[in-house]
Chain A
Amino acid sequence: MKHGKTDIHTLEPVVVACDLITPYGLGIDACWNGLLSGKTAINSLDRFDTGAFQTKKAATITELKTGQSDSLVMQMLKPLLKKASAVIPKDTLLILATTTGEIDILEKHVLSGKGNASESAPGYLLEKVQYASGIKLPGIIVSAACTSSSSAIAQAGAMIRSKECDCVLIVACDIVSEFVFAGFSSLMALDKDTARPFDKNRSGLSLGEAAGFILLMDEKRAFREKRDIIGEIAGWGLTNDANHMTGPSRDGKPLTSAIHKALSSAGMHENAVGCIAAHGTGTVYNDAMEMKALKSVFGSRAVPTYSIKGGIGHTMGAAGLVEIIVALRSLREKFVPPTVNLRIADDEAEGWVSTKTGTFDNPVTISINAGFGGVNSALVLKKWDKQQL
């Protein structure tokens, strides 16, 4: 029983549809197979001049073109939502998660005087996404730095569980822009080559871009509509470091608290967790903080842990949603993807992360994210078990 409810099998949020586009290509198969190949999609960047920056590399989607009538995020989202619109109910609540959205509109205005910078504000993008998805109700935007989409999914789950709504579409997107690239470079946060999450010699993150969506429903409606259930969002926890704008809390306690909250929300003991989809940016401090938090929760039990950011880079506001989609695939396959670009595991991560694929027994994954301003999120994902109904 969770939260004192007696009828837990009708209120739990389940994923009934999802899709994405990442630097590995369009679709979940492309992303999953790209990760399993162990090859990174982080490459030389030609979207803008990188000569003055820390690195010339990022993970981009080569089909995206600047100077088109659609912004870069809409170029990612339109094909995804067009394909999905048939399965999205009209009465769905839309939650859009992004950090910078259509920032290329603002860039264009500042660089060339063309267009209207105010149209880069997130409300304009929300309208476009609502139209592209065919949803009738006005949605909302959730933005919480690099936990934007995981926080949005947590909020959607909470709304479904508390019966505020029974169907939520979470759409997430962010692009590699000169705006963001120059900023991360100024903070000396980028790896000169490619990000190496949890590696002994890691030295920074690589930026990436992605877009995707998850359609969440309560079990009862999903069952009634005979939906294919991909997995369950079983619990969530959101916390904040209240410590520093760009650096994570060194002791990892607020992230530990988010994980404990998520487990409590799921009504689970930490021993039930079989796998960890880490934030794993490849920065020295983030990865160290995460390992502290994980060891604080799981003790000496080395839970199979991976980061996908060595493969597709840090996709910022989209990262959580992309990582949850990958984690659901991992749960279905009972297969832990490798941590791409890992060479020598950091002493603290030794035995937890691997360059190879692995297996896990308990079909429960914790997906964690952290971001600027000290935000932390943890979500408990469960493999769907038809026996439950």
Chain B
Amino acid sequence: MIISGIGWISKKKYGCIKKGIRKDYTDVKSLCLKLQSESVFSYPVKSFGRFDVASKMACCAGALALYDAGVKYSKKYKQDIGIIGTNADGCLKSNLNYFKDYVQTGRKLARGNLFIYTLPSSPLAEASIHFGFQGPLLYIMFPQKQVPSLLQYAEGIISRREASTVLAMKVNEEKAVCFVLKEVAKTK
């Protein structure tokens, strides 16, 4: 198993490790536009504006990692690539956004578009839809050492042949890091 690409986003900067990219950005919406103009995204992200912040970060970090790894993707030609993700608190902020909105509007009608992000796996699902990845999709929370545990888990998925390539990300509303892990072709 090798890590073939890493993308990262902090509060003000984003980048790729292999390609040595390190740039500034102001907000996640402008980040998406920058990544499109720099061809990091192969095509525009549909409905990016309605995503919750964690989903926006997941898509941007995923695109950076895939760009770093040189992995091509397409909505039309879907691939058996897995996506796993972790963080410290599931989707707590999205849960609060959704339920506070529902209560503030009189507990009569919830907003479906906020509700769909009340699953820890939702940001990964948005990423899978954009990239066309049809392998296993799992949110996994590790109580300790999240990034090493995440990488070890992704390695397990590959070694058990559940997927030959895995996008593994730690993502929340403020920062994200995403790794592309893939099987190494065996030579004689």
Contact = CB atoms under 8 A, between A and B. Distances in A.
Interface stretch (B2-10, B130-138, B177-185): B130-138
Contacts, number: 167
Interface residues of B, number: 52
A143 B156 contact: no
A110 B96 contact: yes
Interface in B99-151: 99-100, 102-103, 107-112, 115-116, 118-122, 124-126, 128-129, 131-144, 149
B138 A107 contact: no
Interface in A228-251: 238-246
Given A118-B89, A183-B110, A185-B110, A141 B134 contact: no
B119 A99 contact: yes
Interface residues of A, number: 57
A134 interface: no
A139 interface: yes
A289 to B, nearest CB: 15
B140 A245 contact: no
A142 B86 CA distance: 10
A240 B160 contact: no
A162 interface: yes
Nearest to B153: A140
Interface in B49-99: 75, 78, 83, 88-90, 92, 95-96, 98-99
A187 B114 CA distance: 11
B176 to A, nearest CB: 18
Nearest to A111: B103
A242 B134 contact: yes
B143 A240 contact: no
A374 B125 contact: yes
Given A142-B140, A254-B134, 14 more contacts: A52-B107, A106-B96, A110-B100, A118-B92, A122-B89, A123-B143, A143-B119, A143-B120, A145-B121, A151-B138, A179-B99, A245-B125, A373-B126, A373-B137
Interface of B: 75, 78, 83, 88-90, 92, 95-96, 98-100, 102-103, 107-112, 115-116, 118-122, 124-126, 128-129, 131-144, 149, 156, 159-162
Q: Which 8 A-B pairs have the closest CB atoms?
A: A373-B125, A183-B115, A182-B110, A141-B141, A238-B136, A121-B89, A52-B108, A186-B110
Interface of A: 3, 49, 52, 99-101, 103, 106-107, 110-111, 117-118, 120-123, 126-127, 138-145, 151, 155, 158-159, 161-162, 164, 178-179, 182-187, 238-246, 254, 257, 372-375
